[in-house]
Structure 1
Amino acid sequence: MTIRHLKIFIEVAQCGKMRSAAERLFVSQPTISQAIRELEQHYGVLLFQRIKKRLYITDEGKQLLFYAKDVVEQFDHLEEKMFNLSRTEKVKIGATVTVGECILSDIINQFKIKEPTVEVYSYANNTERIEEKLLNGEIDIGIIEGKIKSPNLISIPKIKDYLVLVCSNQHPFAKKDVINLKELANKSFAMREKGSGTRELFEEYMIKNKVPIKTVFEGNSPESIKREVVENNCLAVISIGLVQKEVQDSKIHIIKNANEGWNRYFSVVYHKDKELTDKIRCIIDIINNYKYLQNYPKFQSGMLINETS
């Protein structure tokens, strides 16, 4: 028994004649007769009484008609929804948390202006999770600040960014013009979670320079990190783009790395076997022309130096 059987049955029940049903469905009368016969054999009941060349639906037929109409309606609804999905163009963008906080909404808004009919899905998490979703084909393109590990992914640096050391305006470091890297040893740090590109860059730098990190808080969002800095006097290393408001409100003091050891890029990432559609290329073009650090005001800051470098 198939949906086609049910549609033929409904038409026959409504017309009362197989010939009329055949004409309305653009099939032959033997096809109609065979479908009704197969339904009767399938359910083991008589669906129509045949009296003087006219069909009269039986009680069993009325029961089937009641359910068949609902089943066919649901099937037609399913077909419509699925075909509409296939006609709707979609782009799925993944971004690391820092990128999501700094630029993702703006990039999506610019894309919607250029491609208003395209449906956009966005997902934010750390570098490790974005890499995983790209490899699984769950997203089309990623924008990340961390390092990609898989050789199956292509990563292209696009937008300049850099990390800064931050503290509250009440922290002793806020009163110093110059801080030596060694002074960070055993100071309380609020850190991003494992898998974060920001954390990886900072840890590699500190390990290289043999300075231990005392982690007293781990969080998966910039807001939680900044709260620890402001409310609990922790230090943190964070993207310059995430602390503009707090610096303007005199809640956070920034300290730049003098040797530019925390400079980095936001990179576009996609699978090496991924077909770059016109819509994905449009997103890449928007990122290529995106103005980021150029628009930020210059704030008074301290300077972090490394006397052993």
Structure 2
Amino acid sequence: MLDNRYQTLLVLTQTKSYTQTARQLFITQPAVTQQIKSLESELQVALVHYQRPHLTITPAGQELAAFVRRVQVQANRVVTSLQHPQVQHQLTFSTTLSLSEFLAPQLIRALQEQGDYRTLTCQVTNTQAALAAIDDGTSDFALIEGNFDKTQYDYQIVREEPFVGVVAADSPLAQKSQVNWADLTATPLLVREAGSGSREILVSLAQAANVTLSEFRQIVTVNNPAAIRQLLLRGAGISFLYRSVVATELASGQLKVLPLPAGHLRHDLDLVYAHDSFFAADYRRWAQILRE
């Protein structure tokens, strides 16, 4: 375990105030200052820059604080596991909304069959919130399709999923042998909210074709894939989703994949967890189950 100075640094990065840090830790303000200076002297690294009244955490301080947070989260989980080895564990994971449609149910069913967990909790959220939940220890791992900083987390690629443009089968666009982005921008675009991994991927795909979302005749923002499916079925526009999200509708012929000339993007779906996690072997095993 790390000594108290590291905990003081962690709180200071959150409060950006010596006074508030002292209050939270029930120590004096000079003690906070002394601990930070002692840590800087020992590590020979500047962690804090203070020019009254502004306090700034240096990049090194931010990186060290993130490491301390990860160590604390992992330590708490390991100690709990050691203290209660005979108790069936609880498991909490996060998933993005798109993956809650097909990947998360597969994992929950697999975990039920293993019978190792009495309590399973699945938190449906966006990519950034899922990563934040890993950071603060409220989520053991996350199923993510959005882009993330791969230097900050360990992860397993679960699969490459086609990210496709979709339209109602009776749309004039569905009758064409090929469509281009100019054809698409004349049609309303059904898109996920800002912060969604799916929206980020669509923006990247459009940019590769030198198109921005603002060029579409109309943008309809909907924060639920199921609602987007219903709008597509009613001919309300086009959308870009993972093929698995609309697999049933494609198989029944109600929806059609747009035939873009450059084809469609295949994007990694990842199981993401904290660096050097004590439970990494479990996460690798579950990722393998999802691959199969």
Identity %: 16
May I ask how many residue pairs the two structures share in their alignment? 207
The question of whether the paired residues in 1 share the 8 Å contact of 2:190 and 2:220 is answered with: yes
The question of whether the paired residues in 1 share the 8 Å contact of 2:178 and 2:261 is answered with: no
Please show how residues 214-293 of structure 1 align to structure 2 within 5 Å.
Answer: 214=216, 215-255=218-258, 257=260, 259-276=262-279, 281-291=281-291
Partner AA of 1:268 in structure 2: L
Q: Give unpaired runs (5+ residues) of structure 2.
A: 1-82
Gap change, CA 1:257 and 1:125, over 3 Å in 2:
farther
In the other structure, the counterpart of 2:114 is: 114
In structure 2, distance between residues paired with 1:257 and 1:127: 27
Gap change, CA 1:86 and 1:217, over 3 Å in 2:
farther
Q: Output the TM-score relative to the length of structure 2.
A: 0.64
Gap change, CA 1:281 and 1:256, over 3 Å in 2:
farther
CA apart distance, 1:147: 0.9
Q: Deviations over 1:149-196 (max 9, x none)?
A: 474322332212011111112211111111123322342100011111
The question of whether the paired residues in 1 share the 8 Å contact of 2:156 and 2:287 is answered with: no
In structure 1, distance between residues paired with 2:174 and 2:260: 15
The question of whether the paired residues in 1 share the 8 Å contact of 2:91 and 2:117 is answered with: no
In structure 2, distance between residues paired with 1:257 and 1:128: 30
The question of whether the paired residues in 1 share the 8 Å contact of 2:157 and 2:287 is answered with: no
Q: Give unpaired runs (5+ residues) of structure 1.
A: 1-82, 293-309
CA apart distance, 1:107: 1.3
CA apart distance, 1:283: 4.5
In the other structure, the counterpart of 2:207 is: 207
The question of whether the paired residues in 1 share the 8 Å contact of 2:102 and 2:244 is answered with: yes
In the other structure, the counterpart of 1:94 is: 94
Tell which deviates more after alignment, 129-138 or 148-157: 148-157
In the other structure, the counterpart of 1:42 is: none
Q: Larger Rg: 1 or 2?
A: 1
CA RMSD of aligned residues (A): 2.5
CA apart distance, 1:102: 0.9
Gap change, CA 1:198 and 1:114, over 3 Å in 2:
same
User: Helix, strand or coil: the match of 1:237?
Assistant: strand
The question of whether the paired residues in 2 share the 8 Å contact of 1:93 and 1:142 is answered with: yes
The question of whether the paired residues in 1 share the 8 Å contact of 2:141 and 2:272 is answered with: yes
Partner AA of 2:192 in structure 1: R
Please show how residues 129-140 of structure 1 align to structure 2 within 5 Å.
Answer: 129-140=129-140
User: Helix, strand or coil: the match of 1:220?
Assistant: coil
In structure 2, distance between residues paired with 1:267 and 1:84: 30
In structure 2, distance between residues paired with 1:290 and 1:159: 8
In the other structure, the counterpart of 1:174 is: 174
In the other structure, the counterpart of 1:160 is: 160
CA apart distance, 1:85: 12
Partner AA of 2:225 in structure 1: P
In structure 2, distance between residues paired with 1:256 and 1:274: 43
Q: Output the TM-score relative to the length of structure 1.
A: 0.60
In the other structure, the counterpart of 1:125 is: 125
CA apart distance, 1:142: 0.8
Please show how residues 132-151 of structure 1 align to structure 2 within 5 Å.
Answer: 132-149=132-149, 151=151
Gap change, CA 1:173 and 1:232, over 3 Å in 2:
closer
In the other structure, the counterpart of 2:39 is: none
User: Helix, strand or coil: the match of 2:249?
Assistant: helix
